[in-house]
Every structure is written in C-alpha cells, then in structure tokens.
Structure 1
Amino acid sequence: MNFTDKLHHLAQPLWSKSFTHPFIQELTAGNLPITKFKFYLKQDNYYLTEFATLHQLIAAKLSNMADKKILLAGATFDNNDELLVRNAMFAKLGITDSDLANTKPTPAAYNYITHMYYELNTGSPARATAALLPCYWLYSEIGARLEEKSSPVPIYQQFIDGYAGDEFTNSTRAMINLVEKMSSVVDATERNQMINAFLKSSAFELQFWEMAYQQKQWSFESRI
C-alpha cells in the first residue's frame, strides 16, 4: 500500500459520514433548504479564498518548478476550479460581493483554515499539502458517487457536476501525486505528521457540512 492509499484507507470512517451527511443527502434529493445552501456558499467562499492563498504560500517554499506549478494552479481565482464553479452559483442565487465581504467565518470555517496555516507555519510544506488534499479528494469522490443521481434542483446538480467533471478530477489526481511524491522524501516521523494533518482536515470537512446544515455561528455573537 502506498502512502496516499493509506491516507485514503484511514480517512474512510470520517469520509463515510460526509457521504451520508444530511446536507449531502438532501442536496441530492433536492429538498435541502436553499437558505442552508446559501449559508454554505458564503462560508465556503471565505474558506476557498484562504485555501487559494495557502496554495501560493506553500508553493513559495518549494524549489521544484513542476511541484510549484501544481500548487499555483489552485492559487488564483482564475485557475481555481472550485472558485469558478462557485462564482456561477453566486450570480444565480443573488449573492453579491458585498454579501461575501461581510460574511464572518463560523467556528468550523475558522478552525479548518487555522489548522492548515498551522501545518504550514509550524510544520512543513509536506504537512501543509497533505492538509489541503481532503478538500480535493473528498469532493471528487462525492462528485463521482453522485454523478449518476440527478438532483431535481438545477443549482444542486451544478454543484454535483462541478466535482464530477474532468477538470476537478485531474486537479485532484495531481494533488494526490504531489502528496505521494512529498511523502517519499521525508522520514517516518514526518510521514506520520502528514497523516495527522490529512485526517484532521478530513474531520474538519465533516464539521463543515454540519456547520452549514445547522447554520452554526459563534455562540457569543448574539450577546455582542
């Protein structure tokens, strides 16, 4: 079993909960309230903006140009497949630039991003790249699982199609290969840290669905 196969195997208990989460199940069935989907999109915009920045910061620490290119492909709004999909959805749902600018990160979004910055700033590019990977790989698998199930809500189908498409699949495969390559040039201790970073991100992915479904905010905000 190679390193990324091991990551995939270890993540299954967490990923299976994402596959069966009510947010995903109701989105597929078409009965997810649109308010919950809009809440998700606004939080995900915060996440993806920081996610793109992380790609750039990690790339800056690498010397291999091919590896840098893989990360830089996800570092800009123009080339980030997820951000392009989201922008089309914002327009259809009437989510404005002002709405996005005024969206404050929820605990789940904040914690997930903080985790990835921590892996970069106190760890290594290898750990940070491993922390990025679940966002690609889990969504790609969700897209593949749901591809043959047509949601009756067109914008929910667009969400599914975006992650089942060739572009996102190819980006995911490139990131998997990059993490595999990085794991081959570090010691066993660092590989364990990469596993830890990957699994934490997988746990945060599950928390993100729950956050969106429950529309969870900071508990103290209502008292400010």
Structure 2
Amino acid sequence: MSFCDTIWEEVAPLRQSILAHPFLAELADGTLSPEAFRHYIVQDSLYLAEYARVLAIAAARAPTAAGRMEFSDGAKVAVQVEEVLHQAFFAQFGVTADMARTAEATPECLGYTSYLASLAATRSYEELIAGILPCFWVYWEVGCAIKPRASSPNPYGAWIDTYADPSFGAATDRVRALVDEAAANGTPATRAAMKTAFCNATRYEWMFWDSAHRCAGWPI
C-alpha cells in the first residue's frame, strides 16, 4: 500500500469516531442546533483564514511545479469558501459582521491552526503537507458519508454538497499524491514524522467538531 493508504488505515478508529460524532449525525439529519452550527461556522472561518496562509507557505516551499500550483490553488479556494459559503451561512444563521470580526478562536481552533503554523515554520515540507492533508481527506470522507443519508430539505445542505462534490474529491486526490510522492522520496525518519503530523491533524479534526457541538470556549 502507499504511504497515505497505510496511515489512513491506521487512523481508522479515529475516522470512525469522527463519522459517528453527534455533530455530524445531527447535521446529516438536519437536527443540529443553529447555535452549534453558528459556533462551528464562525470558528471554521477563523480556521480557514489561517489554513490559507499555511497552504501558501506550502506552495512557496514545494520542490515541484505541481506542488506549487496545487497548494497555491488550495489557498485561493480556502479564501473563496470563507467568502462565499461562510458569508451565506452567516446571513442564514444570524452571524453579523461585528460578531465575525470580534470572534475569538477557541482552544481547539487556535491549537489546530497553531500546530499547522508550527509545521510550516519549523518542520520539513514533508511534515507540513502531511499535516495539511487531513483537512482535505477527512472532509471528503465526511461529505461522501453524509450525503446519501442526509435529510431533504436540510438547512445544512449547502455544506454537505460542498464537501461531497467530486471536484473536492479530485483536489483531495491530488494532495494525497503529493504526500505519497514526498514520502516515497523521504527517509524512514521523515515518514515517521509525516505520520505523526497526519495523526495529530486528524485528532484536531475530531476536536474541532466536538467543541462546536458543545459550543465550547475558553474554560477560564
């Protein structure tokens, strides 16, 4: 198996915990509380702003033209999602411009973005893109798992459609190919570090949804 297929299988229990999480189950059947989704979408807006910066750094550090093109395009798409999808949800769920502007990142959001930023600043390109991949791959798996069983009409239908779209799956495949290429050219130590980055980022994906479901903020 490829490097990505191997680590994907190794995080299978975590992936199942994500797919079974009440936030996503309730989102699929349309019963997720507006408060929980509002919490999620505001935090995701803060996350995507930082994720776009990390993708831009990955593009700058990429050793190949394919990597530079893919990650620079990804940075642009992250900004577009924030501007188009999130703005529509802000209007739908009553998030004002002032609320969005003054929102503070939760510990989970700040932890995730700070972790990715630390990979970009202090670790190898290979580790960085391994840490970037779960945001693509986990969301693609979630979108594909939810869409066939989602209620209709569903207030969260646009979100589901975005991450179940074949174009998002194609982008995931391209990033996965870049990670596999980097792993194939790396040392055993590099691959071990890549696995750690991938696993940590996948853990943050679960934590992000869990904190949104609880509408959690800073404990003190």
Structure 2 segments unaligned to the other structure (5+ residues): none
Q: Does 1:125 align with 2:131?
A: no
Once the two structures are TM-superposed, the CA of residue 151 in structure 1 deviates from its matched residue by: 2.5
Equivalent residue runs for 1:171-190 within 5 Å:
171-190=171-190
2:195 and 2:21 mapped to 1: Cα distance?
Answer: 23
**8 Å Cα contact 1:133/1:175 also seen in 2:** yes
Q: Which residue of 2 aligns with 1:74?
A: 74
Q: Which residue of 1 aligns with 2:34?
A: 34
For the residue of structure 2 that corresponds to 1:74, the secondary structure is: helix
Identity level (%):
29
Of the structure 1 ranges 96-105 and 133-142, higher mean CA displacement relative to structure 2 is found in 96-105
For the residue of structure 2 that corresponds to 1:180, the secondary structure is: helix
Change (3 A) 1:81 1:184: farther
**8 Å Cα contact 2:23/2:209 also seen in 1:** yes
2:82 and 2:159 mapped to 1: Cα distance?
Answer: 10
Per-residue deviation, residues 44-100 of structure 1 (Å, max 9, x unmatched)? 101111001100011111232221000001112576557643333223223233222
Q: Does 1:211 align with 2:218?
A: no
Per-residue deviation, residues 160-212 of structure 1 (Å, max 9, x unmatched)? 11111122111111111111111111111011000000000011111111100
Q: Does 1:49 align with 2:53?
A: no
Taking only aligned residues, the RMSD between alpha carbons, in angstroms, comes to: 1.7
Structure 1 segments unaligned to the other structure (5+ residues): none
Amino acid of the residue matched to residue 66 of structure 1? A
Q: Which residue of 2 aligns with 1:60?
A: 60
Q: Does 1:137 align with 2:137?
A: yes
Amino acid of the residue matched to residue 151 of structure 1? S
Amino acid of the residue matched to residue 211 of structure 1? S
Per-residue deviation, residues 11-46 of structure 1 (Å, max 9, x unmatched)? 111111010001001111221111110000000101
**8 Å Cα contact 1:48/1:83 also seen in 2:** no
For the residue of structure 1 that corresponds to 2:76, the secondary structure is: coil
